Amino acid sequence: QTWLKNTQTAVASEDTPNNLVEAEKLLNQHQQIKEEIDNYAPEFKNIMDYGDKLTQGQTDHQHMFLRERLKALRDGWDELHKMWDNRQKLLSESLNSQLFLRDSKQVEVLLNQQEHYLGKDETPANLEQAEEMLKRHETYMNTLDANEERVRNVLLFAKRLTDENHFDSDKIKKKADNIGQRFDNNREKSKQLWQKLQDMYKLQQFLQNCDELNEWIQEKYIIAQDETYRSAKTIHSKWTRHQAFEAEIAANKDRLYQIQKQAQDLLGDKPEMKKMIDSKLNDLDQQFDTLETTTNEKGQKLFDAKRPVLYEQTCDDIDSWLTDIENQVLTAETGQDLTSVNLSLQKQQMIENQLALKAKQVNELESQVMALKKIDPAKTDELKAKKSYVEDKFNRLQQPLLERKQQLLKKKEAYQFRRDVEDEKMWIQEKLPLARSTDYGNSLFSVQMLIKKNQSLRTEIDNHEPRILNIIENGRKLIGEGHEDSPEFARLIDELNKLWDELKNSMDVRKNKLLESEKAQQFYFDASEAESWMSEQELYMMVEDRGKDEFTTQNLIKKHESLENAVDDYAATIKQLGETAMALTKSGHPESDQIAIRQSQVEKLYAGLKDLAQERRSKLEESMRFCGLKREFDDLLQWINEKEVVAGSHELGQDFDQVTMLRERFNQFARETENVGNERIAEANENADRLINSGHVDGAVIAELKDNLNDSYAELLELMETRKQMLLSSWEFHKFFHDCKDILGRISEKSNSMSDELGRDAVSVSNLLRKHQNFEHDLQTLKSAVHQITDESKKLQVLYAGDRANEIISREQEVVNAWNKMLTDCDFRRRKLEDTGDLFKFFNMVRDLILWMDDIVRQMNSSDKPRDVSGVELLMNNHQSLNSEIDARNDNFTNCFNLGNELLSRNHYASKEISEKLNTLQNQRTALKNRWDERWDHLQLILEVYQFARDAAVAEAWLIAQEPYLLSQELG
């Protein structure tokens, strides 16, 4: 009964756990009481059986009293079991409550981080920022999905507790609802933010597309406004370029349509942007319409400028282009790989696009014929004949182009299949290392994350399988069509199938390995929990309070006995871990050795905990003596005071050399002080800790002395660091002026080394320009030094104010001005050298043309005198060949004149000499043409004279032949 009463008192304890450790501890203690009750059960049964036998059939007072006591004992026994069950339920619910609080706190930390991220209000300023924010949010959403399971587990745990009518159900439900609501809110906000970022990205993309198209329109509008069509000499080339220009504008109108479609999509999602989007679209529409109108007007003006010449030249150009295309179609290769086939297809598409443009030009020939018919009706048949010839040739080109395109498409299918197979093999090879990875996690959380990643990879592989099957189907389709490379395709399909099967098998193996690893990591986790509990108990065992008197010491001993009982009761948990480790080892787990080692470590830690408990008991029973450190502490404090005198100096130096010397000396002093100080302070702290950890009765005094010493030493270190920073600031200040002086000298040296020589001919100018480029390249090092000066100046301006700041700014400006002047001089010299090179090039062209004209004139003046009509005709043919040679040089004259005029437009320093050369060249060219015309007129006159003489000689011979007949006397 005494035991029963004491046990009921222990079970009726109202202690409630405040944390998870206490909950586990109280539950273990309560379980020990159950074991004790079960141990007393046989004795209780024997007592009750023996008592029933004694009191059976007895009616005397003593036996009646004994029967009542037995009844009271039975009632007390039953009450004890009820009390234990109620207490067990309360403690179990308390443990679950603490587990829920622990998990909910971890989840609330995640929710706080999510809410902090979602609370940011950032607006991208351009497309790059919008894209970066989208990527960052995508990463966040992946993290959100990864943490969803943890949140759902907490909510499921809370629901289970409330369904079981937990005593704290209301509080648990309230917290769970709050967590669920916050997580749902975060997910909803995340979706809203994702949509918002998508809209911002689309808007920035729309604005960028608008800006790019606007810049393109402005650039083309400048070209469209050019009125050089007034020159008739180059009317056809300008017309051809204008047609290409019109085609480019028509091709780029799709960009405007795409922007308009993009704007409609934006307005569908964000109607509040209508005003801004409509403004952009109206501007673009108006600008594009203006561009088209200006282009059409210019085209009409070009066409009207010289219709007949333009018509003939257009026909000739189309004919020449069709001839080139026919040659390309007949001789071009169809490609030996996917890239070359794609290039051929692109070229084919380009030809088709050009063909469409030429078709438009061919169709326009009819309207041009009608217009020219009104101008010159006599040439109508000739014009129609040219048009018909071009149309026939154009139509004949259609079929060869179509056949070539079909051939290219067929080749592309084969090469595309090979490429797809190689791509998929590379994809599989990329995934195989992940599937074959031997990383099975080193913690329960990491294993679970790897399992999720493996599941994601498996999902990705399953989602990718239709792509594999589609490629295989394409290959089989090619084989079924009887392709000439069918054996190769069959081999590629077989290789792809084998790789794919290997990947899936590797995934299955990795899944099993990860499940085995999860079992092991669960054991490691439980072992870590046990180690944590034992480590916490070690902290209790390491308390150094030995009590102030016998009473407090006795209470400490009683508390220690309770801790020892808890440690003894924890043997059941260690036993359960051992059984789990044994089961894993017997099942042949791959980590059986590590599991056995870990279990051994837990058991060793538990044994160590029991030894520590015994040591604590010994410390409570023994007395330690005081070992003073006062003298050592006083010596250290005196040493610290001496060092503070040096560290407190305010001498900062007057120039760069002096401050450098002071800084080096003080850094040496600081290193020596820290090395000696750290060693001596560490030794003193170690001695103090040894005494404090030993539980000395004066441990508080020792700790106070130790803290004072450490504080003084920390102040010394802080003082030395302050002195270091002051010397560093002074060193940077003086170094800045020292570097400025050095860079100014280097700039001056570079400026003085820059030559003024411009060269005597094109070769020398080219050499000088190359030397100048090397000179500019050498300036890059100096450029970095100047940038470093500006950076240092900015830093120093933040640190200094007043006169010193003005001095820094002035010095920096002096360096920047010198640098900019040198860059200006360098640029001026480079441009002058380039102008000189162009000048010599121009002179060479003029000299070559003048020498050529002199040679032509000499040939015209040195011709032999003709003797008959054939001689004159030979001279005329030779003279006509000279005219052809003169016409062939027109491009050379044009290039020369263009170069000269370009130099004049650039205000070249030799503009006067260039103008004189141009005039001379033009005059000599005119004289050449005049001389040719004079010579031609002369030859025509001579031809007429010799033709007359030949005809007169023939007539005279005929008359002479007839005279004998007329003089004959024979009359018949």
Let me know whether 128 and 158 are in one domain: yes
Which residue from 920, 885, 930, 886 is spatially nearest to 900, judged by alpha carbons?
920
**Where among 604, 621, 638 does a domain terminate?**
621
pLDDT band at 327 (very low <50, low <70, confident <90, very high): low
**Where among 175, 196, 217 does a domain terminate?**
196
Cβ neighbours around 135 below 10 Å, total: 11
Distance of alpha carbon 587 from alpha carbon 119, whole angstroms: 51
Residue 811 lies in a domain: yes
Let me know whether 745 and 792 are in one domain: no
Residue 623 has pLDDT above 50, yes or no: no
Look at the block and give the residue holding tokens 């008592």. 51
Q: So what's the pLDDT on residue 397?
A: 65
Burial track 380-408 (b if 16+ CB lie within 10 A, e otherwise):
eeebeebbeebbebbeebeeebeebbeeb
Q: What is the pLDDT of residues 137-151, one digit of tens each?
A: 787 777 777 777 778
Q: So what's the pLDDT on residue 863?
A: 63
**Residues sharing a CB contact under 8 Å with residue 870, sequence separation 6 or more, in sequence order:** none
Distance of alpha carbon 850 from alpha carbon 847, whole angstroms: 5
pLDDT band at 303 (very low <50, low <70, confident <90, very high): low
Lowest mean pLDDT among 608-622, 742-756, 774-788: 608-622
Residue 251 has pLDDT above 80, yes or no: no
Q: So what's the pLDDT on residue 232?
A: 46
CATH code of 178's domain:
1.20.58.60
Let me know whether 613 and 637 are in one domain: no
> How buried is 808 (Cβ within 10 angstroms: 0-12 exposed, 13-18 middle, 19+ buried)?
buried
470 vs 164, which has greater pLDDT?
A: 470
Task: Provide mean pLDDT across the span 216-237.
Answer: 67
Q: So what's the pLDDT on residue 234?
A: 56
∠ CA 645-646-648, rounded to 5° = 70
Residue 535 has pLDDT above 60, yes or no: yes
Residue 252 lies in a domain: no
Residue 718 has pLDDT above 80, yes or no: yes
Let me know whether 50 and 74 are in one domain: yes
Q: So what's the pLDDT on residue 627?
A: 38
Residue 181 has pLDDT above 50, yes or no: yes
Residue 625 has pLDDT above 50, yes or no: no
Lowest mean pLDDT among 158-162, 552-556, 559-563: 552-556
Let me know whether 747 and 654 are in one domain: yes
Residue 225 lies in a domain: no
Residue 762 has pLDDT above 80, yes or no: no
**Where among 728, 752, 776 does a domain terminate?**
752
Residue 525 lies in a domain: yes
Let me know whether 656 and 512 are in one domain: no
Q: So what's the pLDDT on residue 142?
A: 77
Lowest mean pLDDT among 155-159, 487-491, 800-804: 800-804
* Strand ranges in 26-120 using DSSP code E only, listed in sequence order: none
Cβ neighbours around 564 below 10 Å, total: 18
Residue 408 has pLDDT above 70, yes or no: no
Residue 210 lies in a domain: no
**Residues sharing a CB contact under 8 Å with residue 731, sequence separation 6 or more, in sequence order:** 653, 656, 659, 660, 663
pLDDT band at 374 (very low <50, low <70, confident <90, very high): low
Task: Provide mean pLDDT across the span 779-789.
Answer: 80
pLDDT band at 333 (very low <50, low <70, confident <90, very high): low
pLDDT band at 626 (very low <50, low <70, confident <90, very high): very low
Q: So what's the pLDDT on residue 750?
A: 76
Q: So what's the pLDDT on residue 71?
A: 80
Q: So what's the pLDDT on residue 340?
A: 61
Residue 253 lies in a domain: no
551 vs 67, which has greater pLDDT?
A: 67
Residue 160 lies in a domain: yes
pLDDT band at 239 (very low <50, low <70, confident <90, very high): low
| Residue % of the chain over a pLDDT of 70 | 80
Task: Provide mean pLDDT across the span 238-250.
Answer: 73
Residue 754 has pLDDT above 80, yes or no: no
Task: Provide mean pLDDT across the span 531-558.
Answer: 68
Distance of alpha carbon 48 from alpha carbon 52, whole angstroms: 6
Task: Provide mean pLDDT across the span 213-226.
Answer: 80
Q: So what's the pLDDT on residue 103?
A: 82
Structural domains of the chain, count: 5
Q: So what's the pLDDT on residue 366?
A: 56
* Strand ranges in 751-846 using DSSP code E only, listed in sequence order: none
DSSP 369-410: HHHHHHH-GGGHHHHHHHHHHHHHHHHHTHHHHHHHHHHHHH
Copy the structure tokens of residue 516. 């085995």
* 475 in Cβ contact with 431 (< 8 Å): no
Let me know whether 680 and 804 are in one domain: no
Residue 18 has pLDDT above 80, yes or no: no
Q: What is the pLDDT of residues 305-319, one digit of tens each?
A: 555 555 556 666 666
Q: What are phi and psi of 626, to 5 degrees?
A: -85, 130
Residue 548 has pLDDT above 60, yes or no: no
Burial track 284-322 (b if 16+ CB lie within 10 A, e otherwise):
beebbeebeeebeebbeebbebeeeebbbbbbebbeebb
Let me know whether 28 and 173 are in one domain: yes
Q: So what's the pLDDT on residue 379?
A: 55
Q: What is the pLDDT of residues 576-591, one digit of tens each?
A: 888 888 887 887 777 7
Q: What is the pLDDT of residues 95-121, one digit of tens each?
A: 777 787 888 888 888 888 877 777 777
Task: Provide mean pLDDT across the span 155-182.
Answer: 82
Let me know whether 732 and 772 are in one domain: no
Let me know whether 497 and 390 are in one domain: no
Helix (H, G, I), strand (E, B) or coil at 556: helix
Let me know whether 565 and 478 are in one domain: yes
Q: So what's the pLDDT on residue 26?
A: 78
Q: Of 16-20, 198-202, 288-292, which one has max mean pLDDT?
A: 288-292
Residue 845 has pLDDT above 80, yes or no: yes
Mean predicted lDDT score pLDDT of the chain: 77
CA distances from 799 to 484, 661, 732 (A): 79, 22, 11
pLDDT band at 757 (very low <50, low <70, confident <90, very high): low
Lowest mean pLDDT among 428-432, 617-621, 777-781, 872-876: 617-621
Q: So what's the pLDDT on residue 628?
A: 42
Let me know whether 936 and 794 are in one domain: yes
Residue 348 lies in a domain: yes
Distance of alpha carbon 816 from alpha carbon 747, whole angstroms: 10
230 vs 29, which has greater pLDDT?
A: 29
Which residue from 276, 246, 248, 277 is spatially nearest to 261, judged by alpha carbons?
277
* 629 in Cβ contact with 684 (< 8 Å): yes
Task: Provide mean pLDDT across the span 854-879.
Answer: 81
Domain range enclosing 336: 306-396
